[in-house]
Structure 1
Amino acid sequence: MGAWISTWPAGPGDAELPVLLCLPPAGAGCHQFRSWIPALTGIAQVHGVQLPGRENRWREPMPDTLGEAVEAVAGELRPIVGAGRRLVVFGHSFGGLLGYELARRVTPDALVVSGCRAPGHWDGAGRGIVDDADELDKLFDTAGLDPAFLDEDTRALMVAMLRKDAVLSLSYTHTPGDPVPAPVHAWRARGDETVTADDMAGWAAVTSRGFRLHHVEGGHHAVLRRPEPLLAHLTGLLRDGTPAAAPVG
């Protein structure tokens, strides 16, 4: 099996910097977060979580359950973080759910999620992607992709990855327990038709250290498409735990 956490080339002293761990949305790989490195040079070391079935792990089988995936990531993360290194976990959409379950096992200094239902709102999420072609096309539309303009091979690869992650999400049942002892920051795009305001507000129930809800304009993936406000926010959390000013709803 390949590594669950992608570690990109680091400069001198980066091994002592805080860690930003990024978890991508369903159907995507983590290498998109490599483009964030210039904005965070000297501030944090950026790592990405790579599930099997995509990019450099295309031929590897998916785990049977979401819990199995989270345990594997947690096992690799502990030695990376080491004693005393600040850790901020960021996850978008399905990646936010993975990030939450990871935060229950390896307590970060902050958990940041975007476009992601609160854990108690995930029951059955993803079923439409598995069973319904129309629902799958709606997801392409949400992502700003027109299937008509994708070549057949590219669309088939994307569909395969989306369905693998959707099946994995269906293995998830939220088991309430102790709140995460870390602040939770949730970002929602006002034009997101996938995740409701109530879905996002539910994150307040999973933390004992404070909750803030931030709003931006745009659709489901707006935060990733225009990441500058989020990156400023993450910079503050990584430096000293004080987020930079951000839109608050």
Structure 2
Amino acid sequence: MTEPGTSEGQGERPTLLCVPFAGAGPSFFHPWQALAGDRWRVVPVELPGRERRIMETPYRNVVEAAKNEVDDIVAGLGAHARTVLFGHSLGAVLAYELAHLLSARGVHVERLVVSGSPGPWTQRERRAAGLPDEEFLARVEEFAGFRHEALDHPEMRELILPALQADCEMHESYVPSTDAPVTVPVCSLRGESDGLVSAEEARQWHAATTGAFTYREFPGDHMYLVDHGREVLDTIAAQSTAG
């Protein structure tokens, strides 16, 4: 499900469809709406188990999530939508699955931008899924390089933890639905100090497309995009201009 657009004339702008990382909801991308200006209509993908869908059961399988959500996503995009897909970490592989599905539905996907992720055929060696709660949170904190303050409040933690655990499980068990690469251009982004995804792994996305491939690094670790939203959007814009 996606958040609907609210003003007329948005069909003239391409949509930047943003797929959240593990534990995140659509609100992470709300500041990007202002940063995007008139370049895109920023539409976050809203998954079950968080924010407005907090009471729904979260997915534990990436391919299932993409297939089940694509109808609502297509409806939210509208007819003849020009779409750029962005996903970070878990969001990158979910965006990859959506790129296949949206293209098959006739949605014009202009570019797939993946961030903080190895190529779709490479699974993470060190895992968090299945660990006891405290060990799980410590491992996720190690992966991400920071701890969300909400996890230190018992009530908020009780709400957030199930979706975060489900997200990690579906990310760490992800197997692509097809060996066929996408046909759209792919841009892979990475924090230069990312200890979870190496530069070599981030460049593996070159094999995931028959189109053009570009690669860019930013200062920071795995969660570099928290502080570099404007630069990420500028990079996406520059890629789009370059074709």
Give the AA of the match of 2:45: V
Maintained 8 Å contact 1:137/1:147: no
Match of 2:199 in 1: 197
Match of 1:67 in 2: 63
TM-score by length of 2: 0.86
2:238 paired with 1:242:
no
Residue 17 of structure 1 deviates from its aligned partner by 1.8
Residue 73 of structure 1 deviates from its aligned partner by 2.5
Residue 210 of structure 1 deviates from its aligned partner by 1.4
Match of 1:161 in 2: 163
Residue 60 of structure 1 deviates from its aligned partner by 0.5
Residue 37 of structure 1 deviates from its aligned partner by 1.1
TM-score by length of 1: 0.84
Maintained 8 Å contact 1:51/1:62: yes
Give the AA of the match of 1:212: T
Give the AA of the match of 1:122: Q
Match of 1:247 in 2: none
Find the aligned partners of 1:47 and 1:214 in 2 and give their Cα distance: 23
Match of 2:112 in 1: 111
Match of 1:152 in 2: 154
Q: How does 1:1-249 map to 2 (within 5 A)?
A: 4-8=1-5, 10-63=6-59, 65-107=61-103, 108-122=109-123, 127-131=127-131, 133-141=134-142, 142-145=144-147, 150-237=152-239, 241-243=240-242
Maintained 8 Å contact 2:63/2:176: no
Structure 2, unaligned stretches of length 5 or more?
Answer: 104-108
Find the aligned partners of 1:63 and 1:26 in 2 and give their Cα distance: 11
Maintained 8 Å contact 1:186/1:214: yes
Maintained 8 Å contact 2:16/2:84: yes
Residue 135 of structure 1 deviates from its aligned partner by 4.8
- Root mean square deviation, CA, Å: 2.5
User: Between the two proteins, what is the percent identity of the paired residues?
Assistant: 29
Maintained 8 Å contact 1:234/1:243: no
Give the AA of the match of 1:242: T
